[in-house]
A and B are shown apart, each in its own frame.
Chain A
Amino acid sequence: MDTSETFQVQFKGNAQTYFGIWIVNLLLTIVTFGIYSAWAKVRTKKYFAQNTSIDGRRFDYHATGKQILIGRLIVGGGYIAMNVLFSIAPIVGGALFVAFMFAVPYLINRSIAFNARMTSFSGIRFGFTGSYWRAVLVYFVYPFLSLLTLYLTMPFVSRAQHRYYVSRHRYGTAQFAFDSKVGPFYKAFLLAVAWVVGISVVGIVVVAAMIFGSPAVMLDLLSAEADGNDLGIGHIIGMGLFSVLILIAILPAGYIYQAYLRNAVYAGASVAGGHSFTSVVKPAKLLWIALSNAAIVVVTIGLMHPWARVRMARYMAASTYITVEGSMDGIVGEEQEKVSALGDAFTDFEGIDVDFAL
């Protein structure tokens, strides 16, 4: 029998309760000189996971503060040791740094695996099986090759990365799969590029016409700057123009890309048993939420961060659907495997983001 049913992802968190968690986390982190941050991270992740549900079945997060702290101590210790070594013996430090680069794909895999393993849905944990050489290929070799094509092949790289990420995940014993044409990835890429180019051209012409009368004068000013003669006023105008350009050209392009990319990735993903996903994030809406969030957070010197984060989580959840083939019941979990928090702490520290956004 073929009955399929579609559910919208629900997020039930609210700004008030998360504000309390957030500010108490922050206070305890400060008074413990950062040590509590490991437990704070767990509490935050639990809050967001437990308040996210599909058809009344919850997500959950299972790492312990102690696990996270140990991972962070190792990574933080390594970071300090590396810096100290750099200042004692820069040549040895440099050589060691190159050696360390070879560990990065391994750490990325550990990080994805740790996060998968520590997340559960409907009582069953996720899992991830990485491959060192596939990770080297999709995260390092492919991006480098695409650089040689002036990034014109970036959508292929992006598709390869998401295929690697999605299809190596499991839900219990049910394997994820990823199958997508490259078209949707090109759509995301080209629309973002078109936005940047279009706005930049319009912006430069308009601004130059307004301030300097003609574009030629501005080029003059820019080259004067390069000579380092008078950095003062030219520098400040340059910085101002640059931030405006970032605000209206690059930032929106980032969200356009992110929105279409997410929709493409969800459309291509499925789980054994025929369950599939749909993401209907709208770039304009995403951009609006992100920009107004940023503005409000800045104006309130950070105090509205919880509200902003909850608002974004709610929009992301509401834009996500899962179509279940038959039932979500009956999926079997797998034996516990040991995972260390080391890789997780590494990506945390270095700000590498291998997640696709949910």
Chain B
Amino acid sequence: MTTTAAPVALTPRRGLAAARARHTAGRVLAALVRSVAIIVPVFLVATFVTFALRALSGLSPARIQLGEEATPEAIARVEAQWGLDRPFLVQYGDWLDGILHGQLGTSWANGADISTLIGLGLGVSLSVATLALLIGVVVGFMLGTVAALRSTTWIDRAITGFVTVISVMPAFVVGIVLVVVFAVGLHWFPSGGYVPAEQGVGPWLAHITLPAVALSFDVIADVARQLRAGLVAAYRENYVTGAVVRGLSPRRIFFGHVLRNGLGPTLATLGLKFPALVGASVVTEWIFGLQGFGRFANDAAQAGDVPAVQGVLVVSIVLVVSFNLIVNLVLARVTPAAQRGV
């Protein structure tokens, strides 16, 4: 039979506290190591496939520069200039080395530096996508939370209905409506174009708000639905009854217990959402006349500008991978149980 434990000496107690702190750090570190162990091979395979694109497509800078009727000698000369006559693996090594140093190479179409071009486009797209994500998370969070707290009432049904409606509205339709109403009709926002943040935060926000709103609907719907489901499920758990019986306040129960456990699925979807937003921005870039990443990608593909397309793919891979990494680390921090469950 257990007896009352002897008083624990001070030193081991400190040791334990320290061990516990290390434990928390260790959990996040373990998630980091695990993620990196997945990311590195994924990155290598994905970039290899990306690089093989030229060989697979049979495209050549000579076609772009010399046209269709070039002599084989001229083509060989141009390809030699681009270093394409070297062994495949040497070219890949060179290219990969450049990527690791942030150099994505030179455009076949106009000889411009691809990193610079993508940087410009990405500035636009990331601005729009980030704002869309922010709007989506904030609004979706509020809707999902209110629906969960008032679940099965008319408020819940109204929110669920609204969310269903906005989730089926295509971004390009929303975008066109927003332009017609708020830009052309009411003149509240510019109807198109882009101003970098360095030239003033106000104009920058004015230019990205409508496209961001158009893109955010999808995020709002996803976040609201996931969060509502997660919270409703968490409220049914016995540990909520436990907290109620201990006399904890509804606020403490919501933030300390329900939210913490109900958030997992929402965070996981957000990890996939951001890269998808950057991709989806192509549509809104057309409607709002933005020279973004999507436009650049489209132009590069149409022109058969292989280095530019490869650059686009590499940047996309990096976006997807790093956003997943961030979400994994946040999940490891917020819901350690979820991590262990896997």
Asked whether A and B interact, the reply is: no
Partner-B contacts on A (CB < 8 A)? none
